[in-house]
Amino acid sequence: MRWRRASDYGAPRLDPRCGAKQLRVHGNLTGLKASQKERLERLYHRKVAAAHVVSLPVAQSLCEISQELGRQVALTLDRNGRVVHVIVGEPDRVFLPELGRARAGKSRFRGIRLVHTHLRGEPLTHDDLTDLTRLQLDLIAAVTVMPDGRPGTVEHSHLLPVGNDPPYAAPVRTRAHEIETAVDFAALIEGLEAEFSRTTTGAIETAGQTRAIAVHVTTADGLDPDESLRELAELASTAGVILVDKMVQRRKQLDPKYLIGQGKLDELLLRSMQLDCELVIFDQDLSPNQVRAIADATDAKVIDRSQLILDIFARRAHTREGKLQVELAQLKYTLPRLVHKSTALSRLMGGVGGRGPGETKLEIDRRRARERIHRLEREIKELGTHRQTLRRRRQDREVSVVSVVGYTNAGKSTLFNAITQSAVLVEDKLFATLDPTSRRMRFPENRELVLTDTVGFIRDLPADLVAAFKATLEELNEADLLLHVIDVSDSRFEQQSAAVERILTDLELASKPRIKVFNKIDRLSPEVADNLCRLHGAMGVCALQRQTLRPLLSEIEARLWTPPPEPRPESWMPEVLTDVAD
């Protein structure tokens, strides 16, 4: 059996006893006689008791017509035992018609069981069991057709709750004349739904929050999948998404359509059904075609890492400039996905000047997106001009600029608050800071500097996002010194530091003077912290303990001005002059 839309032949007939009910026979009707079609249509009038998988008379009718046609014949039955579909297949398989959305409310079962014939006495096939899992059928059964056209045996299987491998019960074979008493279908499905409900109680506990599955696909021995998925989980948490499962696949070559293999795709569908997930997050960027193909196959919303980061930025931006920059990045991300949609019907006919009858909705969306992008770029450019004016003022006053940079959630804002005694938002989440904040400070000998807190960097930061924040990141070009804050307690700190260095290089800031600041040294033993600082040429601090910052402040003075500062009292801290540097 295979899962795809079946071809329908001929116009549907109406059952005069049931008003407008359609008695359409699905599948391969080629070569069938009118009398055979009528016999198939009469199957719609049959009914099976709710407690039976299939009744012996219905099984007998299926086998008789299946042997006569030399093809498999299938019925789908609802919970009340009424026939929903009559399907004619090939000798070795049957193609199922469209059954609607894969989810069936809270039960996570479709509410339909499928009974079909096997002409060669074969057991339930891999295709049968795949259909069972992918379509969330209540149960699937195969009736063996004997040489004399009678039903021989009935083999059936059903889904199992999450955690079972394989995800379906071992097929059970029963003699056809015993099938009505061998299985109480109503009790079976009631028990299964109760078990499935217990395995997904988290769906109730996390009501209002999105449940998702994370997927990582790799073809090389590069970044550790576990480390990458750990970061993706942090991103998901920041976006208000709960990751209930993670999947990893290693492949020699990425699948051009689904990125993952067909078997893994089937597993993804099953896991999303069992865990009641409506969202799938891929750790790699997906093409528009891949997003559509995976969404169609899993019946879930599919996003990639870049889209998740864009969503976080949209939640976190508060200033007008930040909101404009995020909107620009989102439009640039969306526009190619609009362009990739079919434009086959974009011009129906020629018109005056060859313009056609007008624009399609797709073309209107694309045009409006491009117009909005141009408008946003102009507004951001104007804001950038305003920033340049502020920077020129500082330069005229010979005010030094120090910018705090680093990987997201490394503790940059905490360090900024500790130095400037400010109250910038601090959260243990990625991208807590999007909108830059500046404070003007005074050191002894009337030396002033502006300290700026900037947006955090991350591995594989979307290019459109970097471009959109160019006006903000230009602040780094004017900096006299960069404080590269690194969370030394994180096992990935070397990879995170390298990612920041790559972004600085891309921004042509590789030659900018900077101080490496190892934050959160309180989480390490003093010996380990001292050794790491010496090894990497960094200064160790704990942003929560202000006394550990004085050596860093002295180093900032020594880098910016000569002669070097005099020894300061232990309680000394620079004076904050204004809330906003201008």
- pLDDT tens digit sequence for 459-474: 777 676 676 666 556 6
pLDDT at residue 56 greater than cutoff 90:
yes
Report the alpha-carbon distance of residue 266 to residue 277 in Å, rounded.
Answer: 15
Higher pLDDT, 120 or 20: 120
Q: Does residue 90 contact residue 72 with C-beta atoms inside 8 Å?
A: yes
Residues 481/514, Cβ–Cβ less than 8 Å = yes
* pLDDT of res. 416: 87
Tallying the residues shown for the chain, one arrives at: 582
Quote the DSSP letter at residue 10. S
The CA-based dihedral angle spanning residues 141, 144, 149, 151, taken in that order and rounded to the nearest 10 degrees: -60
Strands 83-88 and 73-78: antiparallel
More confident of the two residues 319 and 518: 518
Pick among 3.40.50.11030, 3.65.10.10, 3.40.50.300, 3.40.50.150: CATH of 393-578: 3.40.50.300
Q: Where are the domains of the chain?
A: 2-199, 206-308, 393-578
The answer to whether residues 167 and 270 touch, using CB atoms and an 8 Å cutoff, is yes
How is residue 408 written in tokens?
A: 């997201």
Distance CA 135, CA 109 (A): 9
Cβ atoms of residues 27 and 83 within 8 Å: no
Which residue carries 């290089």 as its tokens?
A: 505
Stated as kind and residue range, the H or E segment containing 114 is strand 112-118
3-class secondary-structure state, position 233: helix
pLDDT at 46 over 60: yes
Place of tokens 């930025």: 313
DSSP letters for 124-183: --HHHHHHHHHTT-SEEEEEEEPTTS-EEEEEEE-B--TT-SSSBPPPEEEEGGGHHHH-
Class of CATH domain 206-308: alpha beta
DSSP 47: B
Query: Tens digits of per-residue pLDDT, 392-416?
Result: 665 656 788 899 988 888 888 889 8
Pairing outcome for strands 112-118 and 73-78:
antiparallel
Q: Say which residue the tokens 């204004």 belong to.
A: 578
Structure tokens at 93: 């398989």
The reply to whether the predicted model has a pTM over 0.75 is no
More confident residue, 101 or 493: 493
Name which of 161, 158, 152, 163 is nearest 187 in CA terms.
158
* Number of helices followed by number of strands (H, E) in the chain: 18, 20
Using one digit for the tens of pLDDT, what is the confidence trace for 243-284? 888 999 988 888 889 999 888 888 888 788 777 788 999 998
Rounded to whole angstroms, how far apart are CA atoms 59 and 174?
13
Residue 352: the pLDDT is 34
- Give the tokens for residue 107: 């039960």
